[in-house]
Amino acid sequence: ALERTLSIIKPDAMEKNTAGAIVARLEQEGFTVKAMKRIHLTRAEAEGFYAEHQGRGFFDELVTFMSRSPILVMALEREDAVAKYREVIGATDPAKAAAGTIRKLYGANVGENAVHGSDKPATAAREIAYFFAGYEVAPSATA
Ligand code: CMP
């Protein structure tokens, strides 16, 4: 089915000026950008976004990294978007990601791994709503 997923280009990829190459790759893979903005998260905003990871050993490192410099946040649409996006970005750890995937190409390590993607459709809806007001996201598949 036609789905949306939340994509974040993380601080490491933004700092290296690889955001354009990553967006171009996603467009080539059939994703349509339905919403997009560059923002610099506060620590509290990063903690809110990653609330499900609170208590994990890497939580502090994760929110420190995600609030280090600006990110590019997008709502992407495609047939089977969540699964297809995860395929294109590759495994969380760039060292374990398949050749040609975005994390293999642009990620540095398991923390600084270039991009985020929603893990399932229900999460995608929540994550898109976390970053975008209703008027900022195209409301239908054709808009
Ligand atoms: P992301 O898809 O943004 O969702 C949670 C993030 O936690 C994940 O990408 C990783 O970048 C990060 N993460 C997972 N495991 C570790 C780890 N062991 N050390 C640092 N960061 C991690």
CATH number at residue 32: 3.30.70.141
Give me ligand 1 centre to Cα 93, in Å. Answer: 8
Tally of structural domains, the chain: 1
Q: Is 91:98 a contact under the CB 8 Å cutoff?
A: yes
54 is a domain residue? no
The pLDDT value recorded for residue 138 is: 83
121 is a domain residue? yes
Q: Letter for the amino acid at 115?
A: V
Give me ligand 1 centre to Cα 78, in Å. Answer: 25
Q: To test ligand 1's pocket by mutation, which of 110, 112, 127 has the most ligand atoms within 8 angstroms of CB?
A: 110
Which residues form the domain of 82? 2-40+71-135
9 is a domain residue? yes
The pLDDT value recorded for residue 141 is: 62
Per-residue pLDDT of the chain in tens (143 residues, 90 and over written 9):
999 999 999 999 999 999 999 999 999 999 999 999 999 999 999 999 999 999 999 999 999 999 999 999 999 999 999 999 999 999 999 999 999 999 999 999 999 999 999 999 999 999 999 999 999 998 866 56
Q: Is 94:29 a contact under the CB 8 Å cutoff?
A: no
48 is a domain residue? no
pTM score, whole prediction: 0.96
